């Protein structure tokens, strides 16, 4: 995998039985959009690839339900801002969106992590980590009573992101909040005093308050992965300041290079634009499902792009993914029911070489077209690839008998077309499509299949 820190490919191995992976999880004050899901899929694809090669994996993914500042650095906590807007208890909001996050993972066939620690339930660990950082002189209590990490105390600060301390300009805000109490502009808060805030605050040796976002990931990864992370995963936007700060904290706490390999996934655009609430173009997995598309067509479309390149997703590519997925499932359904896998060097190499999923998909397409490969072998090769692709290619295609009502609509549409009543034929198509049917008008007249 390409390691952001050394800017080179690194071999992933297990330092202790299983490969210990930490993936930054969702901030649960809203639904994860298809871009967030691209990043969560990345850790699934890597885990599955490692498992394919015979390694075991321990995966931890945190749930940020406190401490994450707003995107725009306005001085608001995301959870509390949403709570203020909707008048719903912040913890209730968090639990609702956490459940929806898990539902999305299931729909995308993402294997569950070994644990999903919630930040709000790891206060003792975070407070202990902050106390230790103060003891070791990496952190200090600022003039406002909040606790800050002293960026200058960590000699290789900036090595991960390339943002060296001397280049970070004073006056620019790298971090949220009234951080008037810090000594140096690049320092960041580990513990913030409650001030006027009354919700989501905890007692601490420095007074009631709440933790900074970055300390959450250090405390949880060190506790749950036993002081060492073989592989750390997140979206590219987290490289700075989140991961740069996490590295400084974790390494100061363990006295060692805590993370072996840092993997960052590039961002997803939708129809050429960055997804944002303000632009109104945020796409959720539910939107994909509401269009009658299989949720795994999102997984399919994401697999066709390398995780390290920025990707532009569109409805057209999701539609295309949906129909190819169906064709592949049909191919497997037609070729028997055995579950034998056949190893393929090229597919294996593609996955293990910095997760080259487009190459694996190309190889599958070539196998599909290759008339010298028998149906059973094709099936076994597809199933081999599906260990990582996770497209449920062996699920079969829906073949249920349509209801009498649907049969009547189909018949009515044949009549409408014979009478050249195109507007009626179109509206019948829409009704059938809503009922889950896909209609094609070919040389043999009207044909239909389940979506
Ligand atoms: P958040 O819920 O905002 O904390 O983000 C969860 C994960 O999604 C983080 O790893 C982000 O880096 C990642 N992420 C945010 N936006 C995108 C995007 N457009 N494409 C891919 N990943 C993203
Ligand atoms: Zn994190």
Is residue 34 a part of any domain in this protein?
Answer: yes
User: Are 259 and 362 within one domain?
Assistant: no
Domain match, 258 and 134 both:
yes
Kindly report the CATH number assigned to the domain that includes residue 232. Answer: 3.40.50.620
Cα–Cα nearest to 301, from 2, 26, 41: 41
- Tell me whether residue 398 is in a domain: no
Beta strands 229-235; 18-23: pairing state? parallel
Distance 25 CA to ligand 2 centre (A): 7
Q: Point out the ligand nearest to the CA of residue 242.
A: 2
Residue 258 near residue 222, CB atoms below 8 Å: yes
Assess whether 227 and 242 both reside in one domain. Answer: yes
Closest ligand (CA of 216): 2
Q: Which residues line ligand 1 (CB under 6 A)?
A: 24, 26-27, 35-36, 38-39, 64, 234-235, 237-238, 265, 267-268, 275
The pair of structure tokens assigned to 138 is 């990496």
Q: Are residues 298 and 244 in the same domain?
A: no
With the most atoms of ligand 1 within 8 angstroms of its CB, the residue from 21, 30, 34, 35 to mutate is 35
Q: What is the pLDDT of residue 170?
A: 63
Structural domain of 367: 269-389
Kindly give, in sequence order, each residue whose CB lies less than 8 Å from that of residue 365, ignoring residues fewer than 6 positions away: none
Residues 441 and 298 in one domain: no
For the chain, what is the domain count?
A: 3
- Residue 64 backbone zone (phi > 0: left; psi -120 to 50: alpha; other: beta): beta
Same domain, 331 and 413: no
Judge contact between 189 and 133, C-beta under 8 A: no
Ligand 1 atom at minimum distance from 68 CA = 4
Q: What is the pLDDT along the chain (451 residues), one digit of tens a residue?
A: 999 999 999 999 998 889 999 999 999 988 999 999 999 999 999 999 999 999 999 999 999 998 664 443 345 677 778 888 888 888 898 999 999 999 999 999 999 999 999 999 999 999 999 999 999 999 999 999 999 999 999 999 999 999 988 777 665 544 544 567 899 989 999 999 998 888 889 999 999 999 998 999 999 999 999 999 999 999 999 999 999 999 999 999 999 999 999 999 999 999 999 998 888 899 999 999 999 899 999 999 999 999 999 999 999 999 999 999 999 999 999 998 888 999 999 999 999 999 999 999 999 999 999 999 999 999 999 999 999 999 999 988 877 788 889 989 998 999 899 899 999 999 999 999 888 888 888 887 888 888 7
Q: Was 326 annotated as part of a binding site?
A: no
In a domain? residue 399: no
Same domain, 427 and 383: no
How, if at all, do strands 273-274 and 311-313 pair?
Answer: unpaired
How many Å apart are CA 232 and CA 24, to the nearest integer? Answer: 8
Q: Is the same domain home to 142 and 182?
A: yes
The answer to whether 335 touches 379, Cβ cutoff 8 Å, is: yes
d(CA 25, CA 414): 51
* 14 within a domain of the structure (yes/no): yes
User: Is 23 annotated for ligand binding?
Assistant: no
Ligand 1 nearest atom to the CA of residue 32, by list position: 2
Q: Mind spelling out the 3-state secondary structure of the chain? A: CEECCCCEECCCCCCECEEEEEECCCECCCCCCHHHHHHHHHHHHHHHHHHHCCCEEEEEECEECCCCECCCCCCCEHHHHHHHHHCCCHHHHHHHHHHHHHHHHHHCCCCCCCECCEHHHCHHHHHHHHHHHHHCCCEEECCCCCEEECHHHCCCCCCCCCCCHHHCCCCCCCCCCCCCCCCCCCCEEEEEECCCCCCCCECCCCCCEEECHHHHHHHHHHHHCCCCEEEEEEEHHHHHHHHHHHHHHHHHHHCCCCEEEEEEECCEEECCEECCCCCCCCCCHHHHHHCCCCCHHHHHHHHCCCCCCCEEECHHHHHHHHHHHHHHHHHHHHCCCCCCCCCCHHHHHHHHCCCCHHHHHHHHHHHHHCCCCCHHHHHHHHHHHHHHHCCCHHHCCCCCCCCHHHHHHHHHHHHHHHCCCHHHHHHHHHHHHHCCEEEEEECCEEEEEEC
In a domain, 397, yes or no: no
Residues 283 and 180 in one domain: no
Dihedral sign computed on CA atoms, order 385, 387, 388, 393: positive
Helices in 32-72 by DSSP H: which ranges?
Answer: 34-52
Residue 164 annotated as binding site: no
- Interhelix angle 422-434/404-418, rounded to 10 degrees, is 160
Residue 323, in any domain of the structure: yes
On whether both 121 and 245 belong to a single domain, the answer is: yes
Number of DSSP helices (H) and strands (E) in the chain, helices first: 14, 15
What residues contact residue 132 under an 8 Å CB cut-off, 6+ apart? 253
- For residue 68, the model assigns a pLDDT of 64
Residues 166 and 248 in one domain: yes
Nearest CA to ligand 1 atom 9: 235
Helix axes 345-352, 34-52, angle to 10 degrees: 120
How far apart are the C-alpha atoms of 45 and 55, rounded to whole Å? Answer: 14
How long a stretch of residues is the chain?
451
Tell me which of 23, 29, 31, 36 to substitute to probe ligand 1's pocket, judged by most ligand atoms within 8 Å of the beta carbon. 36
| Residue 218 and residue 130 in contact, taking contact as beta carbons nearer than 8 Å | no
Q: How far is the CA of 154 from the centre of ligand 1 (A)?
A: 27
> What is the pTM assigned to this prediction?
0.88
Q: In whole angstroms, what is the distance from residue 192 CA to residue 75 CA? A: 12
* Pair 346, 441 in one domain: no
Domain boundary among 360, 389, 418: 389
Q: Whose CA is nearest to atom 8 of ligand 1?
A: 36
Of 215, 245, 265, the domain-final residue: 265
**Predicted pLDDT at 145:** 95
Q: What is the pLDDT of residue 72?
A: 37
- Nearest-CA neighbor of 129 among 215, 68, 194? 215
Interval between CA 254 and ligand 1 midpoint (Å) = 27
pLDDT at 116: 97
- 80, part of any domain: yes
Q: 63 CA to middle of ligand 1, Å? A: 13
Asked whether residue 394 is assigned to any structural domain, the reply reads no
Which ligand sits nearest to residue 24's alpha carbon?
2
């Amino acid at each position: 995998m390409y390691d952001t820190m050394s800017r080179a490919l690194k071999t992933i191995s297990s330092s202790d039985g299983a490969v210990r992976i930490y993936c930054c999880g969702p901030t649960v004050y809203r639904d994860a959009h298809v871009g967030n899901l691209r990043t969560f899929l990345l850790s699934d694809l890597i885990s599955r690839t490692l498992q394919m090669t015979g390694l075991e994996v321990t995966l931890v993914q945190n749930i940020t339900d406190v401490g994450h500042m707003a995107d725009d650095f306005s001085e608001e906590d995301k959870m509390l801002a949403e709570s203020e807007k909707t008048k719903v208890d912040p913890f209730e909001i968090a639990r609702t969106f956490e459940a929806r996050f898990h539902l999305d993972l299931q729909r995308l066939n993402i294997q569950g992590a070994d644990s999903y620690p919630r930040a709000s339930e790891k206060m003792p660990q975070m407070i202990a980590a902050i106390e230790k950082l103060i003891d070791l002189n990496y952190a200090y209590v600022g003039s406002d009573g909040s606790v800050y990490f002293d960026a200058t105390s960590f000699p290789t600060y900036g090595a991960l992101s390339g943002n060296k301390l001397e280049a970070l300009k004073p006056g620019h805000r790298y971090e949220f909040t009234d951080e008037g109490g810090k000594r140096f502009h690049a320092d960041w808060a580990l513990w913030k005093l409650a001030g006027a805030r009354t919700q989501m605050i905890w007692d601490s040796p420095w007074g009631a308050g709440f933790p900074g976002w970055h300390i959450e990931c250090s405390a949880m990864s060190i506790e749950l992965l036993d002081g060492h992370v073989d592989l750390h995963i997140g979206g590219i936007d987290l490289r700075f300041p989140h991961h740069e700060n996490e590295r400084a904290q974790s390494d100061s706490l363990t006295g060692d290079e805590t993370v072996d390999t840092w993997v960052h996934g590039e961002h997803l655009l939708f129809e050429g634009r960055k997804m944002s609430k303000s632009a109104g173009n945020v796409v959720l997995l539910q939107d994909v499902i509401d269009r009658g598309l299989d949720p795994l067509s999102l997984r399919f479309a994401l697999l066709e792009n390398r995780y390290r390149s920025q990707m532009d997703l569109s409805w057209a590519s999701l539609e295309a993914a949906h129909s190819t997925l169906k064709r592949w499932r049909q191919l497997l359904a037609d070729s028997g029911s055995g579950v034998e896998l056949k190893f393929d060097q090229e597919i294996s190499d593609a996955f293990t070489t910095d997760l080259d999923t487009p190459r694996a998909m190309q190889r599958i397409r070539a196998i599909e077209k290759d008339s010298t490969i028998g149906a059973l072998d094709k099936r076994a090769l597809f199933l081999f690839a599906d260990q990582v692709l996770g497209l449920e290619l062996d699920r079969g295609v829906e073949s249920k008998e349509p209801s009498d009502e649907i049969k009547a609509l189909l018949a009515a549409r044949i009549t409408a077309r014979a009478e050249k009543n195109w507007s009626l034929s179109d509206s019948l198509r829409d009704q059938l499509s809503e009922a889950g049917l896909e209609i094609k008008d070919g040389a043999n007249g009207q044909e239909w299949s389940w979506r």
